[in-house]
Amino acid sequence: MRPRRYIGEDHARPDSPDKVAGKAVYIHDMVRPGMLYGKIKFSEHAHARIVSIDTSKAERLPGVKCVITGANTPQVRVGFLRDNLALKRDRVRQFRDEVAAVAAIDPDIAAEAVDLIEVEYEPLPAVFDPVEALAPGAPLVHEIDPRGRPCNTNRLPLDYGHCTGDIDEARRRSAFVVEGDFSTPVVQQACMGTAGCIAEFDMSGNLTMWAKTQIPFLAQRDFNRALMEMGLPGNNSRVIVPALGGGFGTGLDTHCYEYIAILLAHASGHAVKVVYDREEEFAYLSPRQSARTHIVQGCDRDGRLTFRDVRVLQDNGAYASWGATYPTVMLVPITSLYTVPVVRFQAEIVYTNNTYCQAMRGYGNPEVTWAIESNLDDLAEAAGIDPFELRRLNCNRPDTTTPMGLKISTCGLDQCLDATGEKLGWAQRRAADRRTNGDKPRKRRGVGMASLIHVGGSGKIYKSDASGIILKLDDYANVNVYYGGVEMGQGLHSSLSLAVADALGVTPAQVHINETDTGTCPWDVGTHASRGAFMACNAAILASDKLRARIFQWCKQLYPEATDFDLVDSVITLGAANGPSKQLELAKLLRAIHFRDDGDMLTETVFYDPPNELPNWKTGIGNMSATYTFGTQGVEVEVDEETGDIEILRMVSAIDVGRVLNRQTLEGQVYGGIAQGIGYALYEEVKMHKGRILNPGFTDYKIPTAAEMAFPIDLVFVETDDAHGPFGAKGVGEPGLVPTAPAVANAVYDAVGVRITDLPITPEKVLAALAQRD
Amino acid sequence: MKVGLEFELNGVRVAAMVAPHKRLIDVLRDDLHHPGTKEGCGEGECGACTVLVDGRAVNSCLFPALEIEGRAVTTIEGLARPGARLSPVQRAFAARGGVQCGFCASGMVMSAVELLGDNPRPTDAEIRHALAGNLCRCTGYVQIVESVRLAADAVDEEQES
Amino acid sequence: MPHYEYPRPTTLDQARELMAATPGARFIAGGTDLLVQLRKQRLPEPPALISLRNIEALASIHAEGEVRIGSGALLTDIAMHPAVRAHFPALVASIDALGSRQIRNVATLAGNLCNASPAADAAPPLLVYEARVEVIGPGGARAIPIDEFFTGPGQTSLADGEVVTAIAIAAPAAGASSTFMRKGRVKMDLAIASVAVLLQWDGTRCTRARVAAGSVAPTPLRLPEVEGMLEGSSLDDQTIERAAGLARAAIRPITDLRSTADYRRALVGVYVKRAIASLRGGAS
């Protein structure tokens, strides 16, 4: 392995200068010639029959170019279960159902036109709680399924489960058993750049979509399907991804607003931009799924885990999107966080007339790790074992296989636990049990920790988990990179350019990453599952190796006396057996190759398919990732017993990252994840009443500001050098937020002896629990 | 009925015709081709739209366009030095990881510029308090605070030389 | 699409003439509350928003004898004014907690009061300082004592056509000290509950007490029962406990999107206790 030149150090990101100068171009900034602005009319009921839609006044408003409804457009089905329609026809099933849309010459006129559309509804009985939705006689959210067959339940036809060993027997055998019920709320991704797209047809009926997406190629597939439904079979979509303004899962599915933009573009003959404002973003974009978890864990007298039994109930909302598939990722911590020999998992996902949910960072992992790690502390207490010792005892080991069939290659969880314990001063702080802070009456301190396991080598959830890359060398030794993954702020372009520079032997400044475009880049399944850097850099290394081989082959041909070759920072060194070595600029060699007879230009492409497999979701078995990322977070809190206020005093986050690629972007990912974890733990919640979102704005949906993140955070990166990872690296996009909430809850329990089981851990809940305690 | 408007934008006198209900952010982005200022919420909660008016940070989404008459506005586009060089604050953000998706960056940098103009050697607490009106969902703010500290040192040095 | 006019008079007379000539018009200063409410269509759209931002006479802060804060003075300037900082620390604390720098750079104290949210941050301090709201209108000029200013959520005792010109506060007597405590879900947030306390304490006896609370009733309010309990007392721990109990009983908090009635009630009790203890000196 060549010594690394760029990988591992602290590098400024190549996209920062433009962003910090206000020059990065987001969808919000883009204008196409003749472009119209689209605005959508949303439902005013959670569940109702659409009696009539009168668009006549809207059509007459000067500046309005077209008004569409389900009645005057071809039916376009949406969602992986095909249970949604871009424009609803006879029924609305949630407050955000799209009923009509307008394209006008400016956004103000479009908004005014939307207000002029009159819709008559006949309200229907609705259901807003998954338990009620499962009760006999509950109103059905869908009366027929997408294939036209009658439904008789609100349960989604999705089968997720796992069963290894005999749960009842393991329970009987256990010395200690603790049960618990936990819940997590609906929270929002809250990207600073809101959702939006521009749809434009050419005169041959081909579509270009500038989209705020994390799945350009799956979106292309979805949009091509829509084109067929619109009577344009064989026409193609091209998806281009500009600067994104954040992702966090919002871009992992295609959305009704995108199909509506397409329908408006088609109906009007103009490019149409649809962009959500902040209120629309909160009210009409799909947030993170909520979850209710019932968990039972047991251990023997020594503290070895004997079994884990988990049941999850999810409020899916009115239509199926990726929220319904959270159990695919929940399986990972449920079966494989710590060594557990007997595991059972059941999941029920239920339609209601609430807002439908989709992907958000962590994708089910934070929801169940909340339950597992909170309950584990309770189990430790029942067994009379220190929670750190219990975790350490049951810590995952390298080169093991878990009940799910996950092949753990490298595993630094033991080091993460030890680092967290040491930096928190665990032994001393826990020993000072229930002590007061002398000069601040009624304030008690405590420490808590929680661990995580997440996919670190992509996560196979589709028939292909591959990523392609093209590296194209020009006459100046610039490397033009075409990669189908998406830079959404996580630093993909940074890691990728450093990987190419290091693997190929050029400087990072010579690596230019092109816009993500399905027309030019090779296929990639999507930027999710923390897979961006892992996939891109692995593909880049393979392609760079190929290029190096060809470069050195040409060297051999042109300089037959040379015996060995090296290429670093665009300079080729030709070694001679007897005599001094010679240096040659790569650019000069490339031009020599280009401008000779029978010349050549060096371009290489690789389609990298990681060594993982698509699990059987019903049995919950399959090695879905090429490697796994582990970590532990520890936190010290101070709880004000009179106000229930929780102050985070300090935090430690130790992660087995395999290898640090770019220290600066890695830290940024973890700090950002921790901030989202803190919000999840303490105050974030989408509040709903009978299906209506009550806090669609930052006024009442609070996310951390710089003032909330004032506590010191100690970051520890454990490098286990995984054989499957690029330069040994694992994916770290999501882990930062996974264990934060249970770490905080465990610290609060240590401080004041109350166990909060429903996120967020608000002062109101703490104070109420303290009153019960006393 | 549109009203005529004249003001100073990044040191240059400009003019526009705007409807009375328009906001400063609309004039900057739609009429005067300065799209560097971003709209994150339209309600004065997120700070993405922060610009300086007579040296003071304001949310341009809540600043009526007509109130800018005769005043001086500085936007992110106005910070760069001649020859397309970034200002010290921008350089610090780019160097220290203060930018990820970049959508909050313009507003965050403008708030930092106001802070350092008033308080060239702020403490961490002062930095956090000054930036409390600028939301970021990506960074967790740690590297943003480090960027501002780095910028404070750099501005100091630049002023000495 | 909004259709309102936006005139920018430069004198108070011009502003009042415009108001008289435009039925349904509204005055606007910083607009950080008003413009959001209009955007969300929580208010009927007025034919005109009459800007007060360019009336020089309203923008200044005078400190001769009492402090008079012009209705156009910006929160940032008010919080930095030496006389305000010297005499009204509770007001400064409430302004520092009121929104972000960006908001404080354009918003006004008068606007915060006229918006009359039950959570108006500046109200509890002004109540304990017994400020007067000076207004002028068709009926002439008058001064409204601050505790008569708020009549309900979003409602004030301003008559049609009246406009606030200044907020006048007499400096508290020597030996008085004051404090302000509030809580939001995060630091930059609307107040879930807030308490302002002013005490005149000579080391043995409390000779004067003013206590006010915000976000726990339809309007920000004084707590005269609490004041009565404290005045003349030695501010011993038992008295403070009883005062906290009276405070909890006197308020009418509700459960809403932001918090619960029980929590707000408990919090006010704790803040009253802690505020008094901090002004008295020593922990309780």
Q: Which residues of B touch C (CB under 8 A)?
A: 3, 20-21, 42-44, 47, 50, 53, 56-59, 62-64, 66-67, 69, 111, 114, 130, 132-134
Question: What confidence tens digit (pLDDT) does each residue in C214-262 have?
Answer: 999 999 999 999 999 999 999 999 999 999 999 999 999 999 999 999 9
Contacts of B45 in chain A (CB under 8 A): 278, 697-699
Contacts of A491 in chain B (CB under 8 A): 100
By Cβ distance, the residue of B37, B94, B140 closest to A17 is B94
Contact of A535 with A461, CB cutoff 8 Å = no
- Find the closest chain A residue to C283 by CA distance: A441
Q: How many CB atoms lie within 10 A of CB C255?
A: 12
Instruction: Count contacts between B and C (CB, < 8 Å).
Output: 69
Segment (H or E) for C15? helix C12-21
Q: Cα A19 vs. chain centroid, distance in angstroms? A: 22
pLDDT at position C50, please? 97
The domains located in chain A, with CATH, are: 16-23+466-608 (3.30.365.10), 31-124+195-275 (3.90.1170.50), 290-459+615-773 (3.30.365.10)
Contact A683 C190 (CB under 8 A): no
pLDDT at position A47, please? 98
Decide the pairing of beta strands B56-59 and B72-74: unpaired
List Cβ neighbours of A204 (8 Å cut-off, separation of 6 or more): A235
DSSP B58-80: EETTSSBGGGGTT-EEE-GGGSP
List Cβ neighbours of A125 (8 Å cut-off, separation of 6 or more): A47, A139
Instruction: Give the mean model confidence (pLDDT) for residues B141-161.
Output: 88
Q: Which tops the pLDDT comparison, C173 or A630?
A: A630
**Residue C47 touches partner B, C-beta closer than 8 Å:** no
Question: B3-78 architecture in CATH?
Answer: Roll (3.10)
Residue C282 pLDDT more than 50? no
Q: CATH 3.40.640.10: does it fit domain C176-280?
A: no
Contact B47 C39 (CB under 8 A): no
- Provide the β-strand partners of residue C222: C212
A469 burial level (CB within 10 Å; 0-12, 13-18, 19+):
buried
Contact of A72 with A54, CB cutoff 8 Å = no
Of the candidates A774, A735, A734, A769, the residue with the CA atom closest to the CA atom of residue A646: A769
CA–CA distance, A206 with A372 (Å, rounded to integer): 49
Handedness of CA A488, A493, A496, A498 (dihedral sign): negative
So where are chain C's domains? 12-51, 58-170, 176-280
| Peptide bond between residue A760 and the one before it cis (omega within 30 degrees of 0) | yes
Structure token digits, residue A509: 């400044």
Class of domain B88-160: mainly alpha
pLDDT at position C283, please? 38
Block means of pLDDT (10 residues each) for chain A, 774 residues, are: 85 96 98 98 98 98 98 96 96 97 97 98 98 97 89 94 98 98 98 98 96 98 96 93 97 98 98 98 97 98 98 97 96 98 98 97 98 98 97 98 98 98 90 53 91 98 97 98 97 97 97 98 97 97 98 94 94 90 96 96 98 97 98 97 97 98 97 98 98 97 98 98 97 96 97 97 98 90
Same fold, C58-170 and C176-280: no
Contacts of A109 in chain C (CB under 8 A): 1
User: Tokens 């036809």, residue?
Assistant: A157
Question: Which residue type occupies A692?
Answer: R
pLDDT at position A441, please? 61
Of the candidates B24, C226, C100, the residue with the CA atom closest to the CA atom of residue A698: C100
Contact A671 B142 (CB under 8 A): yes
Class of domain C58-170: alpha beta
Residue C284 pLDDT more than 50? no
Structure token digits, residue A12: 């400024």
List Cβ neighbours of A169 (8 Å cut-off, separation of 6 or more): A342
Question: What confidence tens digit (pLDDT) does each residue in B40-98 have?
Answer: 999 999 999 999 999 999 999 999 999 999 999 999 999 988 887 899 999 999 999 99
Of the candidates A667, A167, A726, the residue with the CA atom closest to the CA atom of residue A403: A167
**Residue C185 touches partner B, C-beta closer than 8 Å:** no
Structure token digits, residue A376: 């584990």
Contact of B137 with A191, CB cutoff 8 Å = yes
ipTM given for this complex:
0.97
So where are chain B's domains? 3-78, 88-160
CA–CA distance, C193 with A318 (Å, rounded to integer): 37
